[in-house]
Structure 1
Amino acid sequence: MEFAKFTGKTLDEALNAACNAKGCAKEELHYEVTEEKSGFLGIGKTIEIEAYCQKDIEDFIKSYIQTYFDNAELDGTVEIENDHGFYRITVNTKNNAIMIGKAGKSLQAFNRLVKAAVSAAFKKRVGLLIDVNGYKEERYEKICKMAVRVAKDVRRTKVDAVLDPMPADERKAIHNALAGMNDISTKSEGEGEGRRLHILYTPGKDEE
């Protein structure tokens, strides 16, 4: 994407121009000096920067998802919560079955698509998680209950268990759910979509 460009006689002046235009503090800006002219005998010196802020990332995400809806002729609204640079995106749509897919596979793929697009646009890794009509919260509750049952079996039989592959956010939810269990620990192994959570019998591990 094209970043907005700002100029000034000094870097500080260019940054101030960017802050005034975007309505943000300097600490929120991400910038790169794109051109620096020294002028003649120091007269007419200018610095040009490209700059964006977190609001620009939010606007890009909303626009990208809305364009997807429009092209697919789907209805939907988008809300974004900025959690210290991690973007939690809530999509409300009547077409939740299409967006979520079987076992959430379509939602996982869409999440990867949006993450790749925004990371490429801003030339850095951007963390985000998309939820559709509260599906993720229901999913977390379901898989955590399952994991607790499995962990109790592991503790009883002293035999480790391996869960089906699942995305990082779901593995994290289970890890947090089991963190307080005596004699139980968890770890993830595998690559990409095949990464699985292992529930391990760990004698002597106390409640956290």
Structure 2
Amino acid sequence: MEFSRFTGKTLEEALQAAAADKECSVEELAYTVTEEKAGFLGIGRTVEVEVWCEKDVRTFIRDYIQTYFENAGLDGTTEIEQDKDGFYRITVDTANNAILIGRAGKSLQAFNRLVKSAVSAQFRKRIRLLIDVNGYKQDRYEKLTRMAIRQARDVRRTKVDAVLDPMPADERKVIHNALADMKDISTKSEGEGAARRLHILYTPGKETE
């Protein structure tokens, strides 16, 4: 994907042209000045900028996933939503869900990392995203929540902390949130990378709001 380039006599003029073309506000644009010519005695001065906006990120993600499908001989459709914190939630509907998800979701984790790395490199900033395939993640979150509550009740009864299997950040967050308001229970994550685990801790005296 190539970024759009716009030229104006001033930076403001170039950005206004970009905003009009992309049908967004100037504040929504991200840009890099690629060329600036001073002109002679100020005459003929031009500024060229390389510009992208949120819509371009969506287009890149959708095209990247579609190209991946085509190269792998898979089919599928993609829907993308962005929440107020700039997090992209990507829903993939495909008949090849077993291939994309893999055992215990390992293939889906790898695919998520691949797309995240590609889009972050393209736009030269950290892009946060999560891919779900045929509702797998939502089902997984519900199962993890039920499991975590059972474990937390055991921890509170036995007063012995529990350590869960390694899991990705989004799944740890689901458990953190599920147990946040449980009396005498707290959670923390320890470890690095794929080995990072969540601990359910007996915390006597912790009060809920």
What band does the TM-score fall into relative to the shorter chain? over 0.9
- CA distance in 1 between partners of 2:130 and 2:116 (Å): 8
Matched, 1:150 2:151: yes
- CA distance in 2 between partners of 1:91 and 1:80 (Å): 9
- Please tell me the root mean square deviation across aligned C-alpha atoms, in Å: 0.7
Q: How many residues align?
A: 208
Which residue in the other structure is 1:82 paired with? 82
Report deviation, 1:34: 1.2
Which residue in the other structure is 1:28 paired with? 28
Which residue in the other structure is 1:141 paired with? 142
TM-score (norm 1): 0.98
- Secondary structure class of the residue paired with 1:141: helix
Which residue in the other structure is 2:201 paired with? 200
Report deviation, 1:135: 0.6
- CA distance in 1 between partners of 2:166 and 2:68 (Å): 27
Structure 1 segments (4+ residues) deviating >6 Å: none
Matched, 1:184 2:185: yes
TM-score (norm 2): 0.98
- Secondary structure class of the residue paired with 1:35: strand
- CA distance in 2 between partners of 1:48 and 1:75 (Å): 40
Gaps of 5+ in 1: none
Report deviation, 1:21: 1.2
- Secondary structure class of the residue paired with 1:115: helix
Which residue in the other structure is 1:107 paired with? 108
CA deviations 1:70-121 (Å, max 9, x no partner) are 0111110000001132100000001111110111000000000000000000
Report deviation, 1:2: 2.3
- CA distance in 1 between partners of 2:74 and 2:37 (Å): 49
Please tell me the residue identity of whatever aligns with 2:163.
Answer: V
Report deviation, 1:3: 1.2
Aligned residue runs from structure 1 range 120-131, under 5 A = 120-131=121-132
Q: Percent identity, aligned pairs only?
A: 75
- Secondary structure class of the residue paired with 1:176: helix
CA deviations 1:23-81 (Å, max 9, x no partner) are 11111100011111110000000001000000000000000000000011111000000
Which residue in the other structure is 2:171 paired with? 170
